[in-house]
Amino acid sequence: MRKHLIALLFLIPFVAVAQSPAPPRLTKTAIGNCGCSAYMPADMPKFNLSLSEDGAEVYTAELETSGLFYGCIAVKFAERFGDDYNSEHLEALLISYMDYLKSILGVTSSTGYGKGHTLTDYPDALGVLDYWQTGDSVHYAVKGWVNRDKMGVLFLGKKDSDADINIQNVYLNGWRFE
């Protein structure tokens, strides 16, 4: 009897892992015609295009799969920001946009913005990271990227808990300015 109990205790974690759905494979995906791409699930739907009041192109798409909510927003500014618009201005613009998204998603708490993120191949890009929770217990990891031409925000959510840190890192760092 004791041998069966010990064997059962070893099998339970493996059964639980085998039953949880595998996250989708991420592939490099062009974001409309904005000149950016990101590593996203292959079945991410086509991006919706709208224009902001100032003429910027705004591309949006989201997908729920394997218990995760993937979202992507890309903005191609109507005009490139000049040299007088320094990195502090760009970072403030990105944070302002992320604050706006908080209100849209119903965020009730956040950890606070982590600044200073960079992308190796894009020295002019700035990144900001935050973790949010909504009133209906969705936990989001959110990362925004900006340069003088474009801005993008990637978010990954999971109901009642955080998504796996490895999935977060791959997804949130998968932004590319082309």
Q: With cut-offs at 50, 70 and 90, classify the pLDDT of residue 3.
A: low
Would you say residue 154 has pLDDT above 90?
yes
H or E element at residue 164: none
Nearest to 81 by CA among 6, 11, 8, 150: 150
Q: Is residue 66 within 8 Å of 23, Cβ to Cβ?
A: yes
pTM for this model (two decimals): 0.85
Secondary structure of residue 57 in the 3-state scheme: strand
Tokens read off for 6:
């010990």
Q: 20 or 177: which carries more pLDDT confidence?
A: 177
Say what the pLDDT of residue 118 is: 93
Handedness of CA 94, 99, 105, 111 (dihedral sign): positive
d(CA 172, CA 92): 19
Nearest to 161 by CA among 119, 131, 118: 131
